[in-house]
């Protein structure tokens, strides 16, 4: 029952929200998100103490002819992502406070629908259900970007939509292909694991590529990333937050659950190349971030670098790498949303996010500058921030895979500091100019949000075991499964 509640709670609030006035709707949405957050926390906590509880499993027949089940289950891996989703959405909703947005009720409703779809993607244990939620998540975000976005929104959103849809089609093909090879035509994830492992190496490679296309576009990984910067820049702040904070984790999560264990031999053959592509993402994204003058675009490129490292860690299929990826998904979600909120605060006041036009804001708003710095350091992965734990484990995992690759991936340590501090320098340091003089102090609401972000960054930097312990067992199982299958082939 609990998982079902987790899934539908946000949507249940949508009709209630629509009943209220525009002014009230923000509060209702926040209440919805906070309720969901409490349920999320409770579920996460319960899972830690009693993982076998029946409340974490919901399985009913859905489409009998296809043998598809409506099967949701909370487990060690997706509980982290559900935690991330339920934790971040209240922040995203609260960031609309004190901002004038037209059609706010529709905007907030879309966000809540989006949350349901995201939770669904993470909880689904049935491939068809997973696919449905995967596509369902695209609709609200498409509308959010299209209706509420910036100047060029139509063209850019169209590109984003078509690009991701293109990838999804390959995923659908792959799902159908594996489904046809399951024992009793089942979409169940375990049947998929069984069936996938029995495919020939060549078949597995093709299935791998088809899945990879869908996930790599979503994440995005070089060279399939060019929709991302434009979309992030043009989407409304909350849209960017949803995309970068949670939605891209659909891709990285799917790599762990729906790609590698389904076709272990495909992974074995392709891992070298996909890791190289991921590491290229890291270096390339960082280099691109170095040249940007626009703060939001710089954040977009830096995100390509960060998620590239996550993907690389997953493809190593060793415990440190995948656990690091798990942790970095959570950390990146928090940090990137916080950074886009910082960007929103600046753009809202200054009406620009061109960095060379800014400067000296640290003179005007001290609290803002401190909190911004802490958030930035989380992204730079300073020890005792959440970013460090993930980055260290990821580098550790990559190192076990290959010692040369890790040196390139490690450049993120240097480049990250370089572009982030450069941005901080341009925006915050120096003397104020005519524009930034008027920056003023930040509001209480903004202060609370930023302080919560900063608190989370330090909290998760100090106590990573709270998260890592929960996911370790299941990740071990997946890794063992993958290595068993690949080892069996070697024996044959």
Partner 1 sequence: MQQFVYLIPLFPLLSFIVIALFGKSLSKSITTFLAPSSILASFIVAVLIFINQLSNNHAVIVPVFSWIHVGDFRADFSFLVDSLSILFTLVITGVGFLIHVYSTGYMHDEKDYNRYFSYLNLFVFFMLLLVLGDNFLLMFVGWEGVGLCSYLLIGFWFKNINYADAAKKAFVMNRIGDLGFILGIILLFGVFGSINYHQVFAQIGTVVIDGKLITWITVLLFIGAMGKSAQIPLFTWLPDAMAGPTPVSALIHAATMVTAGIYMVARCSVLFSLSEFTMQFIAIIGIATALLAATIALFQNDIKKVLAYSTVSQLGLIFCALGCGAFSAGVFHVVTHAFFKALLFLGAGSVIHGMSGDQDIRNMGGLKKKMPVTFITFLIGTIAIAGIPPFAGFFSKDQMLAEIFEHSKVLFVLALLVSLMTAFYMFRLFFLTFVGEFRGNDIVKNHVHESPKSMTIPLMILSGLSVVAGFIGFPHALGHQLGIHHWLDHFLSSSVKVAEGKMELNTEMLLMAATVVLILIMIFLARFFFVSKKQIPKSDDAPMSLGKEIVYHKYYIDEIYEAIIVKPLNRVSVLMYQFIEKSGIDGLVNLIGTSIVNWSQLLRLTQTGSLGFYVIAMVISIVALILITVIKI
Query: What residue ranges bind partner 1 (CB under 8 A)?
Result: 159, 162-163, 223, 225-227, 284, 287-288, 290-291, 319-320, 323-324, 360, 362-363, 366, 370, 377, 382-384, 389, 392-393, 395-396, 399-400, 403, 406-407, 410-411, 413-414, 417-418, 421-422, 425, 428-431, 462, 464-465, 468-469, 472
**Of 236 and 324, which CB lies nearer to partner 1 in the complex structure?**
324
**Residue 311 C-beta: closest distance to partner 1, Å:** 18
**Residue 366 C-beta: closest distance to partner 1, Å:** 8
**Of 333 and 461, which CB lies nearer to partner 1 in the complex structure?**
461
The token duo for 444 is 């209480």
Rounded-to-integer distance, Cα 15 and Cα 30, Å = 14
**Of 90 and 397, which CB lies nearer to partner 1 in the complex structure?**
397
| DSSP character string of 279-326 | HHHHHHHHHHHHH--BHHHHHHHHHHHHHHHHHHHHHH-SHHHHHHHH
Rounded-to-integer distance, Cα 195 and Cα 179, Å = 8
Rounded-to-integer distance, Cα 107 and Cα 89, Å = 13
**Residue 32 C-beta: closest distance to partner 1, Å:** 32
**Residue 414 C-beta: closest distance to partner 1, Å:** 5
**Residue 449 C-beta: closest distance to partner 1, Å:** 18
Rounded-to-integer distance, Cα 460 and Cα 335, Å = 11
Backbone angles phi and psi of 59, in degrees to 5: -135, 110
**Of 107 and 415, which CB lies nearer to partner 1 in the complex structure?**
415
Task: List the one residue out of 215, 175, 212 whose CA is nearest residue 195.
Answer: 175
**Of 115 and 323, which CB lies nearer to partner 1 in the complex structure?**
323
Rounded-to-integer distance, Cα 245 and Cα 367, Å = 24
**Residue 265 C-beta: closest distance to partner 1, Å:** 25
**Of 145 and 246, which CB lies nearer to partner 1 in the complex structure?**
145
For residue 84, give every residue at least 6 positions away whose Cβ sits within 8 Å of its Cβ, in sequence order, or none: 245, 246, 249, 329, 330, 333, 334
Packing angle, helices 319-350 and 386-401, rounded to 10: 140
Rounded-to-integer distance, Cα 400 and Cα 137, Å = 36
**Residue 207 C-beta: closest distance to partner 1, Å:** 24
Task: List the one residue out of 219, 335, 352, 227 whose CA is nearest residue 293.
Answer: 352
**Of 55 and 418, which CB lies nearer to partner 1 in the complex structure?**
418
């Amino acid at each position: 029952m609990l998982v079902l509640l987790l899934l539908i709670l946000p949507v249940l609030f949508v009709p209630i929200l629509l009943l209220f006035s525009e002014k009230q709707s923000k509060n209702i949405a926040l209440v919805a998100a906070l309720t969901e957050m409490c349920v999320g926390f409770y579920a996460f906590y319960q899972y830690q103490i009693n993982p076998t509880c029946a409340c974490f499993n919901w399985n009913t027949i859905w489409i009998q002819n296809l043998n598809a089940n409506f099967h949701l289950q909370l487990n060690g891996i997706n509980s982290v992502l559900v935690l991330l989703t339920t934790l971040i959405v209240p922040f995203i909703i609260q960031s609309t406070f004190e901002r004038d947005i037209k059609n706010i009720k529709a905007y907030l409703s879309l966000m809540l629908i989006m949350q349901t779809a995201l939770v669904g993607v993470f909880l689904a244990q049935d491939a068809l259900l997973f696919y449905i939620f995967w596509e369902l998540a695209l609709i609200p975000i498409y509308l959010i970007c299209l209706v509420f976005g910036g100047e060029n929104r139509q063209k850019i959103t169209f590109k984003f939509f078509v690009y991701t849809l293109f990838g999804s089609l390959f995923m659908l093909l792959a799902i159908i292909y594996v489904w046809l090879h399951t024992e009793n035509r089942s979409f169940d994830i375990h049947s998929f694991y069984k069936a996938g492992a029995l495919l020939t190496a060549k078949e597995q490679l093709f299935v791998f590529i088809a899945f990879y296309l869908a996930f790599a576009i979503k994440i995005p990984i070089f060279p399939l990333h060019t929709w991302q910067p434009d979309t992030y820049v043009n989407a409304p702040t909350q849209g960017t937050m949803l995309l970068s904070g949670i939605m891209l984790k659909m891709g990285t999560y799917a790599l762990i659950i729906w790609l590698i264990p389904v076709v272990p031999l495909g992974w074995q053959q392709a891992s070298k190349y996909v890791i190289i592509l991921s590491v290229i993402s890291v270096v390339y994204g960082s280099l691109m971030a170095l040249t940007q003058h626009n703060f939001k675009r710089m954040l977009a490129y830096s995100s390509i670098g960060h998620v590239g490292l996550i993907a690389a860690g997953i493809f190593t299929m060793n415990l440190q790498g995948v656990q690091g990826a798990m942790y970095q998904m959570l950390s990146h979600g928090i940090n990137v949303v916080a950074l886009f909120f910082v960007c929103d605060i600046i753009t809202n006041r200054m009406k620009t996010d061109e960095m060379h036009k800014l400067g000296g804001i640290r003179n005007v708003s001290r609290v803002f500058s401190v909190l911004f710095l802490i958030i930035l350091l989380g992204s730079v992965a300073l020890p005792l921030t959440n970013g460090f734990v993930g980055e260290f484990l990821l580098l550790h995992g990559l190192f076990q895979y290959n010692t040369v690759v890790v040196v390139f991936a490690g450049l993120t340590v240097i480049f990250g500091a370089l572009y982030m501090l450069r941005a901080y320098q341009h925006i915050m340091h120096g003397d104020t100019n005519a524009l930034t003089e008027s920056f003023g102090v930040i509001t209480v609401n903004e202060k609370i949000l930023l302080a919560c972000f900063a608190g989370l960054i330090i909290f998760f930097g100090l106590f990573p075991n709270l998260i890592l312990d929960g996911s370790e067992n299941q990740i071990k199982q997946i890794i063992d499964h993958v290595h068993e299958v690949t080892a069996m082939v070697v024996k044959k």
